[in-house]
Amino acid sequence: MEGLMTIRELAAHCHRSYSTVAKWSSGHLTSPYPEPVRGVNGCFMGWRREDIERTDEANRYSRADYLQGKVKRQ
């Protein structure tokens, strides 16, 4: 399906191992990203790129960075 990130692409994107991201996709580990897209029979298809980008933007800075003024306020 076009526009979906595979396990390998997400692993490269967030600098995690393939194994860790595969566990996120199956639900064995808690994922920092929204639930992946699943097919009719519940099989994993991928993550929506816009969901990944939205999550990355929301989690760009830690709370400590924000409180210490390291975040550029708009």
CA 12, 14, 16, 19 torsion-angle sign: negative
Structural domain contains residue 73:
no
- The answer to whether 45 touches 3, Cβ cutoff 8 Å, is no
Residue 51 lies in a domain: yes
Query: How far apart (Å, rounded) are the C-alpha atoms in residues 65 and 72?
Result: 10
Q: Has residue 22 been placed in a domain?
A: yes
30 is in which domain, residue-wise?
4-67
pLDDT of residue 72: 64
Asked, for residue 41, whether it belongs to a domain, the answer is yes
Report yes or no on 74 lying in a domain. Answer: no
pTM of structure: 0.76
**pLDDT class of 68 with cuts at 50, 70, 90:** confident
